[in-house]
């Protein structure tokens, strides 16, 4: 990588500012963009995202070399990649007609797909859009759609290139991008993705071929475009080979007369009708998934089903209240915190815009929750901790620009154990509830974030936390006194969302047999027990003092809060599989 001149650096970084302006309404003039050039890319960054430059460079160049040959791609100008971190927000965007990629650095947290090594996955995915869609022989000379606006003091002219290429269905575009990320070792068909498709197929709620072609859906349907597209592309590639899939893209970019229409191109390339293959794919999945349905699914009672996303159930230590986050009345990005009397589904308190995480205080008199409702002075939306006094019904802000993603109250009554984001990493910290001061406990690592900590109810110095490990998740015991980490279990499966019960056992969700269910172990990792058996998936368990299990269950309609007996039986892990990803590239020495 080499540095560019100041003039060129400013000029080619403007697209990142424009993207951020269009997306969020703020252009963040406080950001001093810098640019480095690699063989095929211009990487734009600033002080807060410099930590991700090396990983971006290595991943982008590695992925480019594979896909360049696969798609016969010819580079005309270097591809721009901008790395941003001005909100507690994760996403990627490819403006393929302009060779621009925008990446928001914080690791994404997915409810509907597994967690990968974020930078590797998102960079390869967005680059796959650029390489598969770009058409250089006509794109620069193609049509354009534009409009002009003239006011008393200003005039604006906007032109959007209209490339001469086939309009591919969304399932094929996104499915191909996910398949290329998988081919590079940065994504895979994980247990959550399989859960979505399995529930949809078993309940006959899968998207039709036409519905897969667009994103005009609710949050579940939106994700199903990606989900079904990924699975269907893998199905087609297994039947016709990788070269045939790439030829579908290459012919669409050739712009010969009569070349419009994906279905026509597909028939010419494969000799088959796409609808016929879609029906065959669905039938094969239905047979496979029906064999996975457990004979005894136990007895779980729905507690709350409003909205498609209901998660993070919690119960106060005095058993008076319970609560959860719900998207009822909003969309996927917005949730409220609902509190109700234990055993009732009728809310007594609704805290709007609570998100990410929340916790009762150790004595149940207060609630701590995360919210990012208003921008700070620089226009950034950061997660902060708020306190709600249950008795007096008052709210108090604890942190300012804390960038907190997870929160759990400690037993001392004056502090919280939190996961806070800083400089590209998710770190374990302690938060003073009076001053809002954050103090480091265990530093994070790029590409391996912490999440979902839980406190030992019988100790003020012990906790358990989830940590990503190259696409999987592990449970780690945390000694808050000496700041040490000890693996609770070491299996290839995903083990996550722990709850340290009052009975001394640690409950968690795991996909040992390909379906997420609730398990528990003793604090030394022994005596593994299984507590549920469902066809969809169970997450984020908590156990009442009466021995009842409360958790978030996924069905084809979305996540709902359920409860039932927590009776456990001894369980032996036989052959737990998981997705394995490459680590985020790290330099051995100082990068200049």
**Which pLDDT score, from 0 to 100, does residue 167 have?**
74
In order, the DSSP letters of 105-162 are -SPP--SSS----HHHHHHHHHHHHHHHH--HHHHTTSEEEEEEEE-SS-EEEEEEEE
More confident call, 125 vs 256: 125
Strands ordered across the beta sheet of 79-84: 2-3, 34-37, 41-45, 79-84, 100-104, 91-95
419/440 Cα distance (integer angstroms) = 10
Average pLDDT over residues 285-305: 91
121/411 Cα distance (integer angstroms) = 38
Residue-wise pLDDT tens digits, 442-471: 999 988 999 999 999 999 899 999 998 877
590 by Cβ neighbours in 10 Å (0-12 / 13-18 / 19+) ranks as exposed
- Tell me how far CA of residue 423 lies from CA of 20, 105, 491, in angstroms: 19, 9, 30
Residue-wise pLDDT tens digits, 47-70: 999 999 999 999 999 999 999 999
Residue-wise pLDDT tens digits, 468-485: 887 789 999 999 999 999
- Which of 22-36, 173-187, 396-410, 564-578 is the least confident region? 22-36
**Which pLDDT score, from 0 to 100, does residue 255 have?**
54
162/96 Cα distance (integer angstroms) = 11
The DSSP output letter for 208 is P
- pLDDT surpasses 60 at 143: no
Q: Hey, which residues does 506 pair with through a beta bridge?
A: 500, 521
In order, the DSSP letters of 427-482 are EEEEEETTT--EEEEE---TT--EEEEEE-TT-SSEEEEEEEETTEEEEEEEETTT
350/139 Cα distance (integer angstroms) = 51
**Which pLDDT score, from 0 to 100, does residue 579 have?**
77
Asked if 388 contacts 353 with a C-beta cutoff of 8 angstroms, the reply is: no
Of the ranges 131-145, 429-443, 565-579, which is most confident? 429-443
Handedness of CA 86, 87, 92, 98 (dihedral sign): negative
């Amino acid at each position: 990588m080499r540095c560019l001149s100041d003039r060129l650096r400013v000029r080619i970084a403007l697209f990142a500012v424009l993207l951020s302006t269009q997306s969020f309404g703020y252009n963040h003039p406080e950001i001093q963009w810098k640019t480095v050039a690699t063989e095929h890319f211009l990487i734009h960054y600033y002080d807060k995202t410099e930590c991700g430059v090396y990983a971006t460079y290595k991943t982008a160049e590695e992925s480019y070399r594979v896909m360049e040959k696969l798609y016969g791609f010819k580079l005309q100008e270097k591809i721009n990649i901008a790395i941003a971190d001005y909100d507690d927000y994760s996403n990627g965007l490819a403006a393929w007609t302009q060779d621009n990629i925008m990446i928001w650095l914080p690791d994404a947290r997915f409810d509907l797909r597994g967690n990968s090594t974020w930078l590797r996955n998102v960079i390869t995915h967005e680059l796959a859009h650029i390489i598969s869609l770009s058409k250089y022989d006509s794109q620069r000379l193609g049509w354009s759609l534009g409009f002009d606006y003239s006011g008393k003091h200003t005039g604006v002219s906007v032109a959007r290139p209209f490339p001469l290429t086939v309009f591919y269905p969304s399932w094929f575009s996104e499915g191909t991008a996910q398949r290329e990320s998988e081919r590079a070792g940065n994504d895979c068909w994980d247990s959550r993705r399989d859960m979505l498709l399995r529930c949809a197929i078993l309940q006959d709620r899968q998207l039709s071929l036409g519905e897969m072609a667009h994103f005009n859906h609710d949050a579940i349907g939106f994700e199903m475009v990606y989900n079904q597209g990924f699975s269907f592309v893998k199905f087609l590639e297994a039947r016709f080979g990788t070269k045939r899939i790439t030829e579908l893209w290459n012919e669409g970019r050739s712009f010969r007369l009569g070349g419009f229409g994906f279905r026509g191109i597909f028939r010419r390339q494969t000799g088959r009708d796409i609808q016929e293959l879609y029906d065959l794919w669905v039938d094969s999945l239905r047979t496979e998934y029906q064999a996975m349905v457990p004979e005894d699914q136990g007895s779980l009672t729905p507690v709350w089903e409003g909205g498609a996303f209901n998660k993070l159930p919690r119960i106060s230590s005095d058993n008076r209240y319970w609560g959860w986050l719900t998207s009822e009345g909003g969309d996927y990005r917005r949730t409220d915190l609902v509190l109700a009397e234990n055993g009732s589904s009728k809310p007594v308190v609704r805290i709007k815009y609570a998100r990410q995480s929340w916790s009762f205080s150790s004595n149940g008199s207060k609630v701590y929750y995360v919210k990012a409702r208003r921008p700070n002075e620089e226009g950034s939306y950061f997660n902060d901790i708020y306190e709600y006094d249950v008795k007096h019904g008052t709210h108090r802000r604890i942190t300012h620009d804390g960038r907190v993603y997870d929160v759990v109250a400690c037993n001392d009554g004056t502090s919280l154990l939190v996961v806070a984001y800083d400089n590209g990493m998710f770190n374990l910290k302690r938060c003073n509830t009076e001053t809002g001061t954050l103090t480091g406990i265990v530093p994070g690592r790029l590409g391996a974030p912490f999440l979902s900590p839980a406190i030992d109810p019988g100790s003020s110095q012990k906790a358990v936390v989830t940590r990503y490990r190259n696409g999987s998740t592990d449970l780690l015991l945390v000694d808050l006194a000496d700041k040490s980490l000890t693996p609770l279990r070491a299996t290839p499966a995903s083990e996550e969302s722990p709850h340290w019960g009052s009975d001394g056992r640690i409950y968690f969700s795991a996909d040992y047999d390909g379906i997420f269910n609730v398990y528990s172990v003793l604090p030394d990792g022994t005596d593994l027990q299984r507590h549920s058996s469902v066809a969809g998936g169970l997450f984020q368990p908590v156990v009442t003092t009466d021995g009842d299990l409360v958790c978030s269950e996924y069905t084809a309609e979305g996540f709902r809060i359920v409860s039932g007996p927590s009776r456990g039986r001894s369980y032996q892990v036989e052959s737990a599989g998981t997705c394995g990803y490459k680590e985020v590239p790290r330099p051995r020495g100082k990068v200049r």
